[in-house]
Amino acid sequence: MGFWDTIEKKGWYFFTSLMGGWPETVVVAVASLLFALAFGLVVALLRLSRWRALRIPTIAYVEFFRGTPALVQLFVIYFGFPDVGYQPSVFQAAIIGLGLNGAAYLSEVYRAGIESIHKGQMEAALSLGMTPASGMRYIILPQAIRTMLPPITTFSIVLLKDTSIVWAIGVLEIMARARQLVTETLDSNVIYPMAGIIYLCMTIPMARIAARLERSRQAWR
Amino acid sequence: MLQLPGIYAEYIHRWLPELLYYALTTLYIAAASFVLAVAIGLVIALLRTSRSALLRAPAIGYIEIARGLPIVVLLYIVYFVPPQLMPGLDWRWFTTFIGAVVGLGIHGGAILAEVFRSGIEALHSGQREAALSLGMTPAKAMIWIILPQATRVVLPPVANYAIGLLKDTSLCSLIGANELMNDAKSIAFADYQPMAVFVLVAAIYFAMSYPLSLCVRYMELRMSHGR
């Protein structure tokens, strides 16, 4: 059967089957984004701490997670953790893996953002009687978020694309459905490009938003 | 409880030589796709910065699509689609290795095109005008004046891309390319030691990528002082 015949006869079936994996893709992406946003902030604050005993392990964590492939990290978590007595579900493993990976990356974004704020800001906050924690919370972070927003948006795009590897540990997201469909019908020439278009429909609009944020940030300065 | 040192003492003489052998394949894939990505990136960047909209439009389209697709999806499209679209041809030469290199090269070409473009655009336009006023053709000005200076600017982001690429080669295991990650999977499940094997493999990837990232930091430090 030719390419166009296949699209005409089975296109809708392929599309609905692929979209069956869309919720899984989105759930993994959103959950690991939230995890990475929260945990990355903790890591960044520890990294900026005055105590070495806190700084050194966080540096090791960031270097290790940025220096190894996300796929390997997923395999360590999903297949390796049972060896030490914890069996995560595929969803847990995917979210923990992509989340820890993302937190290492985001902690550097946070750190750059926090360090971009002039020291005098924190000193002024302290001299007004604020505690260091509330100085961070009410003075530094609200200003730093401006610098951090564009790279965070770019990171969410990368994260969304990275969810396409979690089928390797068994999450039934878009790419897993595509592989199942190909095993079922052998029409890889239609199915994989269609999966690609579904991803593009999500990533290109996000990239537009990221570019706009970047431009408006430059306008503020 | 898992006793990693004991496991390594027992297995490492068997695992390590094999893993290091496949780490070499990983490096080959990374090196070949790096070269391909630089070549594609240069062409696309030149098209993207050209004055004619007719040349710019396909370059923009290429960048948007190749950057917007997840690498795994791109690898699957590159490796599985052409043989089915053109079943009459002989596809035996199209190995997983070549599929991996082409897929990663197409993706990297889009990333590097943007890097090169920002490098070209970072230079003052007076440079080009001066070269043209000396009687150089636009092509000569590009080769002898613009690109040598732009190289300096783009070196750190290109090196950063190379680090990412090295890690991304692990995705080629998903189309069955015989590299480090693929071999790790087969060892891990054959010897039933997933934790020990995957941690060891992570360490090997780290040992390959960390020196590169130290180089990048050194370059960035020098760039911010120098000039």
- Show residues of chain B in contact with A70, CB under 8 Å: 167
- pLDDT tier for residue A191 given thresholds of 50, 70 and 90: very high
Q: Which residue of A3, A64, A83, A175 to mutate against B (max B Cβ within 10 Å)?
A: A83
pLDDT at B166: 95
* A84 vs B: CB within 8 A: yes
Q: Which helix (H) or strand (E) holds A90?
A: helix A90-115
State the Cα–Cα distance between residues A159 and A162, nearest whole angstrom.
5
Least confident of A60-64, A147-151, B72-76, B208-212: A147-151
State the Cα–Cα distance between residues B151 and B211, nearest whole angstrom.
21
- Is B195:B4 a contact under the CB 8 Å cutoff? yes
Among A63, A162, A196, whose Cβ lies nearest the Cβ of B69?
A: A196
Q: Which residues, including other chains, have CB under 8 Å from residue B119's CB and lie 6 or more apart? A: B150, B151, B153, B154
**Are the beta carbons of B84 and A189 separated by less than 8 Å?**
yes
Least confident of A5-9, B24-28, B66-70, B76-80: A5-9
pLDDT tens track for B28-53: 999 999 999 999 999 999 999 888 99
pLDDT at B71: 96
- Show residues of chain A in contact with B71, CB under 8 Å: 161, 164
Q: Given a cut of 90, is residue A49 above it in pLDDT? A: no
* A61 vs B: CB within 8 A: no
Among B171, B196, B209, whose Cβ lies nearest the Cβ of A71?
A: B171
In this structure, is the dihedral angle defined by the CA atoms of residues A182, A185, A187 and A191, taken in order, positive or negative?
Answer: negative
- From the list A100, A131, A116, the residue with the least C-alpha distance to A38 is A100
Q: Taking residues B141-146, what's their average pLDDT?
A: 87
Q: What is the mean pLDDT of chain B?
A: 90
State the Cα–Cα distance between residues A145 and A110, nearest whole angstrom.
8
* A164 vs B: CB within 8 A: yes
Domain A3-220, architecture per CATH: Orthogonal Bundle (1.10)
Termini Cα distance of chain B: 56
* DSSP H stretches of helix in chain B: 4-48, 53-68, 71-85, 96-122, 125-133, 138-140, 147-168, 180-190, 194-225
State the Cα–Cα distance between residues B182 and B172, nearest whole angstrom.
8
Q: Given a cut of 70, is residue A124 above it in pLDDT? A: yes
**Are the beta carbons of A69 and B1 separated by less than 8 Å?**
no
pLDDT at B72: 96
Q: Given a cut of 90, is residue B150 above it in pLDDT? A: no
State the Cα–Cα distance between residues A41 and A13, nearest whole angstrom.
43
pLDDT at A206: 92
For residue B199, the chain A residue with the least C-alpha distance is A76
- Show residues of chain A in contact with B213, CB under 8 Å: 66-67
- Show residues of chain B in contact with A199, CB under 8 Å: 68-70, 73
Q: Taking residues B204-215, what's their average pLDDT?
A: 93
Q: Given a cut of 70, is residue B227 above it in pLDDT? A: no
* A203 vs B: CB within 8 A: yes
Q: Which residues, including other chains, have CB under 8 Å from residue A172's CB and lie 6 or more apart? A: A20, A21, A24
Q: What is the DSSP string of B4-42?
A: HHHHHHHHHHHHHHHHHHHHHHHHHHHHHHHHHHHHHHH
- Show residues of chain B in contact with A80, CB under 8 Å: 194-195, 198-199
pLDDT at B62: 96
Angle at B185 between CA B180 and CA B189, to 5 degrees: 150
What are the structural domain ranges in chain A?
A: 3-220
* A63 vs B: CB within 8 A: yes
Pick the CATH number of B4-85+93-225 from 3.40.50.300, 1.10.260.40, 3.30.365.10, 1.10.3720.10: 1.10.3720.10
* A37 vs B: CB within 8 A: no
C-beta contacts of B127-136 below 8 A and 24+ residues apart: none
**Are the beta carbons of B68 and A64 separated by less than 8 Å?**
no
Phi, psi (deg, nearest 5) at residue B134: -80, 0
Highest mean pLDDT pick, B9-13, B54-58, B192-196? B54-58
Q: Given a cut of 70, is residue B226 above it in pLDDT? A: no
- Show residues of chain A in contact with B80, CB under 8 Å: 182, 188-189, 192
State the Cα–Cα distance between residues B2 and A83, nearest whole angstrom.
6
**Are the beta carbons of B73 and A76 separated by less than 8 Å?**
no
- Show residues of chain A in contact with B212, CB under 8 Å: none
Q: Which of the pair, A78 or A3, is modelled with greater confidence?
A: A78
**Are the beta carbons of A199 and B68 separated by less than 8 Å?**
yes
- Show residues of chain A in contact with B72, CB under 8 Å: 164-165, 175
User: Å from A112 to nearest chain B CA?
Assistant: 14
State the Cα–Cα distance between residues B150 and B137, nearest whole angstrom.
18
- pLDDT tier for residue A220 given thresholds of 50, 70 and 90: low
